[in-house]
Structure 1
Amino acid sequence: MDLGLKDKVAVITGGSVGIGLAIAEGLAAEGAHVVLAARQAERVTVEAERIETEFGVRALGVSCDVAGVDGIRELVDQTRATFGGADILINNAGTGSNETIMEAPDEKWQAYWDLHVMAAVRLARGFVPMMRQRGGGVILHNASICALQPLWYEPIYNVTKAALMMFSKTLAEEVIKDNIRVNTVNPGLVLTPDWIKTAKQLTAGKGGDWQGYLDGVAHENASIKRFSSPEEMANFFVFLCSNKATYSVGSAYYVDGGMLKTV
């Protein structure tokens, strides 16, 4: 199936690991050129070089922090200088939290607001004009099932991801006239390096059965009784970027193995 992605230019934040890296690989496999943005310079450079070699596309690694204005500027400028613009933007950078509302300081709320919400706002301001010049584009936001079904131990994550989903809906209304489609994907449990790291930490003093811990999380929360792989999640993102999803505008898709317990 031709997804119409050959020679498109896709920017993926949080692109050097986990879901972001899997999305970059999925798009590259369809012939798209990719810009990987991440904070760790060595890792993002290595992964960009590997993708170029493995998939025969152009790949650029940009070391930047999209939670700040300077990082956004660096990503936009390097993309423009290397490719002349972008057709696809995947706002994927993000991380979980752990706090209570009563105890979390303002600084922590602000840091997550900058990473999950303002990064998307600023990236839209940077890349939408390029997409207009190229005749249209696609913007996808990686939010979370927690945007609708919150987890008790990460209220800041829940709130900022819900705000990201509303921003995505609002942006979709504003830019569809420019042939730019905006949608949100809300993953459930995805087996990223962060989940494995956390499981190992939590089980270090209890026998070290981190796989058993993750199996328990999956059985408790997901009807499918397992985690998604990053590649499974990436497949959905790639489809939404393609010319097979051209009537999808302003929607939020739950790709969660049955974790969402409402209609």
Structure 2
Amino acid sequence: MDLGLKGKVAAITGGSIGIGLGVAEAFAREGTHLVLGARQKERLTAETDRLASTYGIRAVPVAGDIATAEGAEQFVAAAKEHFGGADILVNNAGTGSNETIMEASDDKWQAYWELHVMAAVRLARGFVPMIKARGGGAILHNASICAVQPLWYEPIYNVTKAALLMFSKNLANEVIKDNIRVNTINPGLILTPDWVNTAKKLTAGSGGDWQSYLQTVADEHAPIKRFGTVEELADFFVFLCSDRASYCVGATYHVNGGMLKTI
């Protein structure tokens, strides 16, 4: 299926590892140029160089903290400087949390609010005019199944991802007149390096069988009885940002192997 993305420009936050890098590679495979943001400069630069040489596209690394106003401005400015804007924005940067409501500090709540919500708000203000000037495009938010089905140990993650979901819906209603389609994806269990590292730490003192640990997690939560791959998820991201998904507006799509318990 020709997705019509060759020569387009996609800006992706959290693009140096895990889901963000997988999404970037899926776009690169379609011939899409990239603006990738992340905090770890060396890893980000190495991955952008690899993607550019492998797929014959242009890939620009933007090292900075997207959770700050300065980091968001830097990311917007890079897209404008190198490509005159972008056609696609993927808000992917984010991370899990671990706390109780009674014990979590205001600072921790604020940090996750800045990362999961305000980064998307600031980047919308920066990218929407550029996408509009290019005739329209797509914005996609990577939220989580936890936005609608919370896990008990990460209330801050649950709450801020739910807020991102509502922001995405409101933005979709506001910018569809500019031919900009906004949608959200709620992934379930996706086998990222974070999951692997966590499993290795948790099993270090009991034999180190991290694969079996992950299998028990999948057995407990997902009827499909396995984690999804980054590649499986990334393909759906790319499809939703293409004209093949031209009637998809303001929607939330669950990619979770049946983990969601409601309809």
The TM-score, its normalising length taken from structure 2, stands at 0.99
CA–CA distance in 2 between the matches of 1:249 and 1:50? 33
Matches within 5 A, 1:101-250: 101-250=101-250
Partner letter of residue 23 of structure 2?
A: I
Partner letter of residue 95 of structure 1?
A: T
Instruction: Name 1:259's counterpart in structure 2.
Output: 259
Partner letter of residue 237 of structure 1?
A: F
Partner letter of residue 124 of structure 2?
A: A
Instruction: Name 1:60's counterpart in structure 2.
Output: 60
Q: SS of 1:11's equivalent?
A: strand
CA–CA distance in 2 between the matches of 1:234 and 1:95? 17
Unpaired runs of at least 5, structure 1 = none
Q: SS of 2:253's equivalent?
A: strand
CA–CA distance in 2 between the matches of 1:201 and 1:111? 25
CA–CA distance in 2 between the matches of 1:8 and 1:238? 12
Number of aligned positions between the proteins:
263
Task: For residue 243 of structure 1, report the CA deviation from its aligned partner.
Answer: 1.1
Task: For residue 78 of structure 1, report the CA deviation from its aligned partner.
Answer: 1.1
CA–CA distance in 2 between the matches of 1:127 and 1:9? 12
CA–CA distance in 1 between the matches of 2:97 and 2:203? 19
Q: SS of 1:31's equivalent?
A: coil
CA–CA distance in 2 between the matches of 1:234 and 1:220? 24
1:196-220, Cα deviation, whole Å (9 max, x unpaired)? 1111111111111111100000010
The answer to whether residue 36 in structure 2 is matched with residue 28 in structure 1 is: no
Unpaired runs of at least 5, structure 2 = none
Task: For residue 84 of structure 1, report the CA deviation from its aligned partner.
Answer: 0.5
Instruction: Name 2:10's counterpart in structure 1.
Output: 10
CA–CA distance in 1 between the matches of 2:132 and 2:143? 25
Shift >3 Å, 4+ stretches: none
CA–CA distance in 2 between the matches of 1:117 and 1:46? 28
Q: SS of 2:228's equivalent?
A: coil
CA–CA distance in 1 between the matches of 2:68 and 2:137? 24
Instruction: Name 1:85's counterpart in structure 2.
Output: 85
Root mean square deviation, CA, Å: 0.5
Instruction: Name 1:96's counterpart in structure 2.
Output: 96
CA–CA distance in 1 between the matches of 2:241 and 2:251? 13
The TM-score, its normalising length taken from structure 1, stands at 0.99
Q: SS of 1:205's equivalent?
A: helix
CA–CA distance in 2 between the matches of 1:170 and 1:259? 26
CA–CA distance in 1 between the matches of 2:243 and 2:70? 33
Q: SS of 1:185's equivalent?
A: strand
Partner letter of residue 154 of structure 1?
A: E
What percentage of aligned pairs have identical amino acids? 70
